[in-house]
Amino acid sequence: MFSLRFITVSISVLFFSSYMSFAQPPVVPGQVVTPVSVKSVESPDKKNSSFDESKFSPLQKQFFHAGKSGADWLYRMNTVKGRFINGIRPSLKVEMENESFLHQATAAMALARAGRIYKDDRFSVRASQAILLLLEDTITDPKNSSARYTVLPPQILDRQLSAGLLLLAIHELANPKADLLDSGEQLANFLRSSLSDTTTIEKEIAADELDGKGCESAVAIAAILKSNQLRPAPWKTDVAKKAIIARWNAWKTQKEIAPYPWRILALHEAYKTSSEKPYSELAFELADRLSSMQYDQIDPRRPTWYGGLKTVSPQGVELMPGVMSCILAESFAVACLTAQLNGDSARHDKYMQKLAQSLQFSQTIQYTESNTLHFSEWFRPRLLGGFHNSPQDGDLRLDYTSHCVSAYALYLQVCSIGS
């Protein structure tokens, strides 16, 4: 016979064990997040001697540090193997699976741009390493040794888009090495042949996703023209011009807005190279269209929507804006640069105001010291600086932060801050 005391103790032990099992983090599929030192969040060069912040306006200082914090997050998410972590699910404390080449290339491009603008060698070095690793996933064309494209079949990974993003990443570096530029020329040669194939234009169907369909040709055109600055070749401007003209009507009429930043960038690079007004006029037309899709007035019922992108469900219900609003920031920033080249101060001021509003919205979806206090101290560095999907979705995905960091860096470039 068991004594009453023994039964009581047994029940207590069982209850305590059950409680402890519920208190542990849930076991879910995916790679558990590795703890990071809190010190690693702090930049080793917190007061960058390259910048005199006393000359910044309060808004410039705010955006400077928000963008730098985002770039620091990208830097920390690049592992010892050279790959970026695809994202983090804070509610489960696990890393996202299903690595994407496009997200990796976009992150390398954003970090390279941040390194150039912030004059931070850490970012530039790590971006270079990421690009070199991505180049290992490419091969030279067996029929043309001067062309290079990604190894994966085109049914799995679009070769035009992946080559374009990789070429852009190379030319966002502050001082790309000769071997990278050589590989970049091979990518450019592949893009030359892909853009010359006009039979694919009808298949370029846009979709409202950050890396969705419809971006391929615009990314390729922008990349070729960008590469022309360090590796000039007469064919580059000629191919880009013909490719833009062939897609002119589609770019003017398609309603999907996800490709807008890339198209405006391609038009900007074309205008910078040729000074032909039609390029800048179409860029402004697309930017003006986006202007009407922004919450530019503060609504007391939903003040956090200010500066965000207007989106509507199929049922006609307004949806809470999220990270897709970075489309606005990237587009307005490039439109500002185009207006500067065009000497159009009125448009510049208009787009600058729109850009500031969209960046202000983006700060409502950035993890900061103040909104991560409820997370464990060991886990907080995995979040700080990253941009999540929306005010109601805290998941961090690599491309979310990449696009936001790119937008902040472009803002600083508009303000003539950095390289």
Q: What is the pLDDT of residues 248-277, one digit of tens each?
A: 998 998 888 889 999 999 999 999 999 999
Q: What distance in Å separates the CA atoms of residue 310 and residue 57, rounded to the nearest whole number?
A: 29
Residue 322 CB-half CA count within 13 A: 18
In this predicted structure, what is the pLDDT of residue 196? 86
Please name the amino acid found at residue 215.
C
Q: What distance in Å separates the CA atoms of residue 286 and residue 264, rounded to the nearest whole number?
A: 7
In this predicted structure, what is the pLDDT of residue 48? 54
Q: What distance in Å separates the CA atoms of residue 120 and residue 43, rounded to the nearest whole number?
A: 10
* Closest among 360, 111, 358 to 257, alpha carbons compared: 358
Question: Which parts of 79-232 fold into alpha helices (H)?
Answer: 101-118, 121-135, 159-172, 178-196, 216-227
User: Where does 267-387 show beta strands of DSSP type E?
Assistant: 311-312, 318-319
Whole-model pTM: value is 0.88
Q: Is residue 374 within 8 Å of residue 365, measured between CB atoms?
A: no
* Closest among 231, 233, 253, 235 to 243, alpha carbons compared: 235
Report domain extents, the chain.
68-414
Q: Give pLDDT < 70 ranges for the chain.
A: 1-49, 199-208, 211-213, 419
Tell me which architecture the domain covering 68-414 has in CATH: Alpha/alpha barrel (1.50)
Q: pLDDT digits over 20-59, tens only?
A: 333 333 334 445 555 554 444 544 444 455 799 999 999 9
Q: How many CB atoms lie within 10 A of CB 39?
A: 8
In this predicted structure, what is the pLDDT of residue 23? 36
Q: How many CB atoms lie within 10 A of CB 395?
A: 17
In this predicted structure, what is the pLDDT of residue 308? 96
In this predicted structure, what is the pLDDT of residue 305? 95
Q: Is residue 223 within 8 Å of residue 169, measured between CB atoms?
A: no
Q: What distance in Å separates the CA atoms of residue 384 and residue 270, rounded to the nearest whole number?
A: 37
